[in-house]
């Protein structure tokens, strides 16, 4: 983001707020130290997720949704609650990270939100996720586990 005063193109973010579909960022120019505000549309703010192996993938809210739906399978958690968790997690990401967000941070945000809603879903999400430390790896692995469980129903289900 170019400084409107001195045209220097590096700034640090001093405050971020998400609104409906945009992020308002208060920035401080690294050269002249003056402050200015930018508004970025969320769908244009292309955030990348940094995975455990340092590879980058585009952030996809659907990956969080899939993970949550699997974790909340047969649990008393509504679509609205899942939507709300995703919205909250997204807001936190955009408020705290500008271009790249560690996948671990996303997982931690989902934990925090899920913990307050349904303990069983939380434990399911946590137990698998902790091993993988990555939402997308987790989602893939959990899908496989659930498919296997459906093929061989256990007494505990």
The residues of the shown chain that bind Zn ion, judged by CB under 5 A, are: 3, 5-6, 8, 29, 31-32
For residue 18, what is the enclosing H or E element? strand 11-18
Q: Which is nearer to Zn ion, 7 or 130 (CB)?
A: 7
Residue 113 to residues 36, 44, 94, Cα–Cα distance (Å): 32, 25, 16
Q: Which is nearer to Zn ion, 98 or 134 (CB)?
A: 98
Q: How far is the CB of 29 from Zn ion (least distance, A)?
A: 3
| Residue 136 tokens, joined | 């997308």
Q: How far is the CB of 46 from Zn ion (least distance, A)?
A: 24
Q: How far is the CB of 85 from Zn ion (least distance, A)?
A: 39
Q: Which is nearer to Zn ion, 5 or 15 (CB)?
A: 5
**Residue spans of alpha helices (H) in 19-134:** 61-71, 79-96, 103-115, 119-132
């Amino acid at each position: 983001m170019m400084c409107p005063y001195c045209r220097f193109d590096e700034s640090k973010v001093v405050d971020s707020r998400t609104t409906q579909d945009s992020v308002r960022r208060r920035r401080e120019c690294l050269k002249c130290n003056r402050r200015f505000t930018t508004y970025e549309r969320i769908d244009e703010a292309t955030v990348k997720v940094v995975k455990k192996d340092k590879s980058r993938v585009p952030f996809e809210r659907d990956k969080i949704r899939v993970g949550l739906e699997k974790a909340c399978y047969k649990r008393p958690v509504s679509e609205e609650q899942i939507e709300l968790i995703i919205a909250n997690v997204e807001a936190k990401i955009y408020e705290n990270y500008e271009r790249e967000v560690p996948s671990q941070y996303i997982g931690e945000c989902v934990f925090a939100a899920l913990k307050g809603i349904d303990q069983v879903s939380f434990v399911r999400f946590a137990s698998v996720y902790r091993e993988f430390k990555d939402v997308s790896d987790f989602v893939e692995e959990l899908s496989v586990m659930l498919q296997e469980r459906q093929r061989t129903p256990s007494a505990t289900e």
